[in-house]
Amino acid sequence: MKKNNVTYIHHHKIEYLDETHSYIVDGEEVPSVSTLVELASKKYSWDDYSLISQDVLDNAAKEGTIMHKIIENYEKYDVEPFEGFIDEFNNYLSLKEKYGIKCLKNEQIVLFCDDYDKPIYCGRLDMIISRDFSKGICDLKRTSRLYEDKVFFQLNLYSLAYTQSYGENIDFLSCIRLYKASISEYVETEIDFNTTINHLRELIVDFDEKYEITHMLNNGPKERLYEISNGKLIKYNGSEKEITVPNNVRIIGKKSFSFSSLECVNVSSNVYKIEDEAFELCKDLKRVTFDGVIDSIGVDAFSYCDSLESMIIPNGIKKICYDAFASCKSLKKILIPNSIKMFEGCFFHDCKELLYNEFENSLYLGDEENPYLILSSIKDYEISIFSTNERTRFINCYALADNDNVEIVKLNESVEYIGEAAFAECVNIKKVYYFGNEKSRNKIIVRSNNDFLLSAKWFCFTKNGSKERKIGNWWYYDTDGITIIEKCIN
């Protein structure tokens, strides 16, 4: 089937199927304005077309299409008809002159979406016109009679969709009726946003899809509650205190909620990514819950959320970026699951109320399964020997920075990542005892400004003690299980 008039509105792809006069939005068919008007006409008994034979209606529709095409060709290409509908065309020119009408655009595609950016209907309005320095919508009719309620609803549907699609206000709604040679008239109908929305709400209740237009009813057609593009939430325009992220959102986009007055957010199960600064400076945000698994949380995603007291990150998270929870001054509890694969360090910088898990001389973050996942910092800078917990995977940036007392570092084989400047200016580190072999040691990711750690003498662990005959520096415990014995083989 031939597809034409492919248009993009707010990232929605709209295809008009000329043969069936239907609309496909993002691959799904949506009702047209004409369809909604006919549904409303039946529901509210706005016309008496049911008394007219279908053949007569079909013929009238065909003639109406021809007349529309004649006027479109004239307005677009300045081509006048040489036969057929000459009288109607001349009447059209007379009305234009009488009322000072100028055609600005023809056959404009419009789209109307609900609060959650879900398409409700599409249409193709006949003309955008100007009159007395005002801009309006004009619909062409070739009917023996005008039904005021139908005209009102149709033009207001076009007005809502045009305003939302292009961000431009409409000043007036009008209709030009050209019925054969004898009847021609120009009429206007009022703009009534609330009545139109209420009619629309009554109609869409019967649809298979569920729509929400409450926010729009209170704030006008330009402002949807959510702006969503291809599953990505671009912007939240609401003022609610508590929301659930719409189910059609897969990515919460950059700055999409920043500076909002939200207090509670439930992240729906389809969301897998929270981008940079998504909730930055949401100073009233107290609670965030997750229905599903999140792959990543971006840079500054929740930074400066002053009221946020706790955060339980769901199991399955793979990446938490730098400063993701920075300067959350009320944050006391954060649970980080062992599923994390990439850790950029310092994502909880300047969270002064944060409670840590303690082991020996160090402070850790994690969850109930592994409370020692991330080594954040040490408590006592007077120690000369530093060691990690056997379950620690990440050492936070600046964890031991500027500690010139540490001389020996013991790293468990579980350590995968050492953050930027974790051992910066630890000038007296002499030896590193690593509880793993050289192969696993080489897999540790060590970020910049850890030169004193890397330049120290490293010893890898060997279970076989002195029987191990491999080139390199090795260590093992003596028979007492305490004393360290070093082995250097060149």
CA distance 268 to 297: 15
More confident residue, 126 or 20: 126
Of 39-48, 55-64, 108-117, 456-465, give the lowest mean pLDDT range. Answer: 55-64
Structure confidence at residue 36 as a pLDDT band (50, 70, 90): very high
Does residue 180 form part of some domain? yes
Q: Residue 167: its pLDDT value, please?
A: 87
Q: Residue 1: its pLDDT value, please?
A: 33
CA distance 465 to 461: 9
What lies within 8 Å, CB to CB, of 23 at 6+ separation is 14, 15, 16, 17, 29, 30, 31, 32, 122, 123
Amino acid at 209: E
Of 19-28, 114-123, 360-369, 473-482, give the lowest mean pLDDT range. Answer: 473-482
- Evaluate if residue 50 carries a pLDDT over 80: no
Q: Residue 479: its pLDDT value, please?
A: 77
- Evaluate if residue 470 carries a pLDDT over 70: no
Residue 375 sits in the same domain as residue 308? no
For residues 450 and 396, the answer to whether their CB atoms sit within 8 Å is no
Residue 60 sits in the same domain as residue 196? yes
Each residue's pLDDT tens digit, 392-425: 999 999 999 999 999 999 999 999 999 999 999 9
CA dist list (Å): 154 to 37, 112, 127:
6, 13, 13
Of 30-34, 57-61, 371-375, give the lowest mean pLDDT range. Answer: 57-61
Does residue 122 form part of some domain? yes
- Evaluate if residue 23 carries a pLDDT over 70: yes
Task: Classify 378 as helix, strand or coil.
Answer: strand
Residue 334 sits in the same domain as residue 386? no
pLDDT mean over 101-110: 94
Does residue 209 form part of some domain? no
CA distance 58 to 56: 5
Structure confidence at residue 248 as a pLDDT band (50, 70, 90): confident
The residue among 173, 204, 235 that closes a domain is 204
CA-wise closest residue to 99 among 180, 188, 169, 168: 188
- Evaluate if residue 49 carries a pLDDT over 70: no
Residue 200 sits in the same domain as residue 347? no
CA distance 70 to 81: 7
Q: Residue 2: its pLDDT value, please?
A: 36
- Evaluate if residue 19 carries a pLDDT over 90: no
Does residue 212 form part of some domain? no
Does residue 216 form part of some domain? no
More confident residue, 38 or 81: 38
Q: Residue 3: its pLDDT value, please?
A: 43
Residue 285 sits in the same domain as residue 366? no
CA distance 295 to 252: 12
Does residue 39 form part of some domain? yes
Structure confidence at residue 383 as a pLDDT band (50, 70, 90): very high
Please indicate, yes or no, whether the overall pTM of this predicted structure exceeds 0.85: no
- Evaluate if residue 345 carries a pLDDT over 80: no
Does residue 219 form part of some domain? no
The average confidence (pLDDT) of the chain is 89
Domain of 232: which CATH number? 3.80.10.10
Residue 236 sits in the same domain as residue 149? no
Looking at the 3D structure of the chain, how many domains does it have?
A: 3
- Evaluate if residue 466 carries a pLDDT over 80: no
Residue 373 sits in the same domain as residue 299? no
The residue among 320, 355, 390 that closes a domain is 355
The conformational region for residue 308 under phi > 0 = left, psi -120 to 50 = alpha, else beta, is beta
CA distance 488 to 475: 9
Tokens representing 412? 């468990």
Structure confidence at residue 51 as a pLDDT band (50, 70, 90): low
Domain of 111: which CATH number? 3.40.1350.10
The residue segments making up the domain with residue 236 are 225-355
Q: Residue 310: its pLDDT value, please?
A: 95
Residue 246 sits in the same domain as residue 300? yes
Q: Residue 212: its pLDDT value, please?
A: 78
Does residue 391 form part of some domain? yes
Residue 19 sits at φ, ψ, to 5 deg, of: -70, -30
Domain of 380: which CATH number? 3.80.10
Tokens representing 290? 């997750």
Each residue's pLDDT tens digit, 290-329: 999 999 999 999 999 999 999 999 999 999 999 999 999 9
For residues 331 and 348, the answer to whether their CB atoms sit within 8 Å is yes
Residue 348 sits in the same domain as residue 376? no
Each residue's pLDDT tens digit, 167-219: 899 999 999 999 877 889 999 999 998 899 889 988 887 776 777 777 776 77
CA dist list (Å): 193 to 8, 119, 446, 466:
25, 18, 61, 87
Tokens representing 270? 């389809």
- Evaluate if residue 267 carries a pLDDT over 70: yes
Residue 458 sits in the same domain as residue 347? no
Each residue's pLDDT tens digit, 119-178: 999 999 999 999 989 999 999 998 888 899 999 999 999 999 999 999 899 999 999 999
Sheet containing strand 12-17, strands side by side: 4-9, 12-17, 22-25, 28-30
Residue 50 sits in the same domain as residue 197? yes
CA distance 414 to 388: 9
CA distance 196 to 157: 7
Sheet containing strand 342-343, strands side by side: 226-229, 232-236, 251-252, 273-274, 296-297, 319-320, 342-343
Q: How far apart are the first and last CA of the chain?
A: 77
Q: Residue 20: its pLDDT value, please?
A: 82
pLDDT mean over 424-433: 96
Residue 413 sits in the same domain as residue 476? yes
Question: Strand 226-229 vs strand 232-236: parallel, antiparallel, or unpaired?
Answer: antiparallel
The residue among 332, 355, 378 that closes a domain is 355
